[in-house]
Amino acid sequence: MFENIIEFSSQEDYVNLKEDYPIPTKLNIPDWFKQLNHSMQNKTVKGCVPFLDALTSGYILKMPQDFALKHNFPNDSGKLDMFQAPALRPEASVAFAKSLNMNTDSIQSHPVAQLGNCPYNSQNKNLPYHKILNPWKIKTPKGYSCLFTPILNNGDDRFFPMSGIVDTDVFPTEINFPIVINGDKYPELDTIIKKGTPYVQIIPFKRDAWKMKVRGTKTSELFTRRMGYALKVLYNYKLRYWNKKIWK
Q: Structure pTM?
A: 0.88
Please state the rounded mean pLDDT for residues 169-177.
Answer: 96
Query: CA-based angle 210:214:216, to the nearest 5?
Result: 150
Is 226 inside a domain boundary? Answer: no
The structural domain count of the chain equals: 1
Does position 231 have pLDDT exceeding 60, yes or no? no
Is 242 inside a domain boundary? Answer: no
Is 87 inside a domain boundary? Answer: yes
Residue of 234 and 19 predicted with greater confidence? 19
Check the CA dihedral 189-62-173-163 and report its sign.
Answer: negative
Computed over every residue of the chain, the mean pLDDT equals: 90
Check the CA dihedral 9-15-20-25 and report its sign.
Answer: positive
Please state the rounded mean pLDDT for residues 129-151.
Answer: 97
**Band (245; pLDDT cuts 50, 70, 90):** confident
CA pair distance 152, 135, nearest whole angstrom: 22
Please state the rounded mean pLDDT for residues 151-160.
Answer: 97
The CATH number for 65's domain is 2.70.40.10
**Per-residue model confidence (pLDDT) at position 113:** 97
Is 41 inside a domain boundary? Answer: yes
Q: Which of 114, 151, 148 is nearest to 129 (CA)?
A: 114
**Band (219; pLDDT cuts 50, 70, 90):** confident
Domain that holds residue 205: 7-216
Does position 37 have pLDDT exceeding 80, yes or no? yes
Does position 79 have pLDDT exceeding 90, yes or no? yes
Is 239 inside a domain boundary? Answer: no
Burial of 149 (0-12, 13-18, 19+ CB in 10 A): buried
The answer to whether the CB of 61 falls within 8 A of the CB of 22 is yes
CA pair distance 34, 56, nearest whole angstrom: 13
Is 240 inside a domain boundary? Answer: no
**Band (217; pLDDT cuts 50, 70, 90):** confident
Is 208 inside a domain boundary? Answer: yes
Burial of 59 (0-12, 13-18, 19+ CB in 10 A): buried
